[in-house]
Amino acid sequence: MKSKMWDEQTIHAFQTTLLDWYHQNKRNLPWRADTNPYKVWISEIMLQQTRVDTVIDYYYRFMEEFPTVKSLAEANEEKLLKVWEGLGYYSRARNLKVAATQIQEDFNGEFPQTVEGIRSLKGIGPYTAGAIASISFGLPEPAIDGNVMRVISRLFGVEEDIAKASTYKIFDQILRAIISYENPGDMNQALMEVGATVSTPAAKECPEWLKPFCYACAHDEHDKFPVKSKKAKPKDVYYLAGVIENKEHEHLLIQRPENGLLAKMWHYPLEEVEPRKYQEFKQLWQKEDSKQLSLDLVAEDTVPELFSGWPVVWQKRHFGEVTHVFSHLKWHILIFYGRTQTEFLPEHGKWLDEQSFSDLVFPKVQQKIVQQFNKTHKVE
């Protein structure tokens, strides 16, 4: 850290300046309407890895369906995931239900009011615990997220890599030294607001009111902070997706395993292939002439590697490609369409008409496949 820790006079001046700015400029967000710990908790979990403007509608819908800890603890998981559908990182929603059950069983239905109690809940880490403790219970506990790290690194010239877990202690020490004991919740939210709206990744300097406190501005090094090593590139994974229709015009959907990525969610059948094979399908199985659109193809003429053994006649072309990025994986999916006259049902499968799709929980990647297929299919 390049800058020395501030003296008491500087800390007090910073607190006053920051809180004055926040009270005049803070965004009007629904979860700021009150300090109810349940509402703060839900909003903070939703905001992880997700933009504020995306979260707002989800937050309203969630609160309508599950207005209390008790209603969340008793929620049907499929209904819960349906409300969460499209937000991604579905383990967050499952953890919410587990934590709500903990509150019901271990805390007599009352939200725990200590940092230790809050941290004991499933899915709650240091940041979320700090946010709830400070905003809802007035405890001088830091809430350190990426926005706050960026702001503090510029104010104090923190040179350590914020991607390393060991660096967290530096920010924790700084924030415990400068946090307002009279108004810790607003101060935490003010720091987040600064990072989200004025001291953004692209900002070239601080606003005038913040400059007197900023090491990076004083040394013309604003763009050097925060120091962060490059994130590992997501691994590319290649799939063929089968949109399979039976004689009742129902589509085959497969449910994923109970654990792991997209656990228990539904999607069209997927078959993983090597990158080379994927590119062959992509290049060679394009629409060429009217014969390619015919479904009157003999079995030998169908895609041999695609779900081999299934009694499906495939169109000899693909319906486009979709990609979807997870935190550690990038899925590339090439879409094929086929029909079957034979009654068969793979393990964990279900036949469903498109009008009933809304009854199941679809991950974002499945929604993309449906949109791409319908767009291409209707064009023709």
For the residues 342-351, what does the mean pLDDT come to?
A: 91
Residue ending a domain, choose from 224, 251, 271: 224
- Phi (first) and psi of residue 114, to 5 degrees: -115, 155
Report yes or no on 3 lying in a domain: no
The answer to whether 68 and 103 are in contact (CB under 8 A) is: no
Kindly state whether residues 274 and 186 are assigned to the same domain: no
Final residue in a domain of this structure, among 224, 259, 282: 224
The conformation of residue 257, written as its DSSP 8-state character, comes to P
220 & 265 share domain: no
What's the pTM value of the predicted model, to 2 decimals?
A: 0.84
CATH code for the domain of 129: 1.10.340.30
pLDDT digits (tens, 9 = 90+) for 95-154: 999 999 999 999 999 999 999 999 999 999 999 999 999 999 999 999 999 999 999 999
Percent of the chain scoring above 70 in pLDDT: 94
Q: Is residue 130 within a helix (H) or strand (E), and if so which, with residue range?
A: helix 126-137
Contact 61, 83 (CB under 8 A): yes
CATH code for the domain of 280: 3.90.79.10
Q: How far apart are CA 156 and CA 216, in angstroms?
A: 7
Q: What is the pLDDT of residues 277-322, one digit of tens each?
A: 999 989 888 765 444 444 444 344 445 556 777 899 888 889 999 9
Same domain? For 163 and 56 the reply is yes
- % helix / strand / coil in the chain, to the nearest 5? 45, 15, 40
- Could you tell me the residue range of the domain that residue 130 belongs to? 8-224
Q: Which residues are catalytic?
A: 44
41, two tokens: 């908790």
Residues 87 and 201 both lie in one domain: yes
For residue 107, is it within any domain? yes
pLDDT value, residue 88: 86
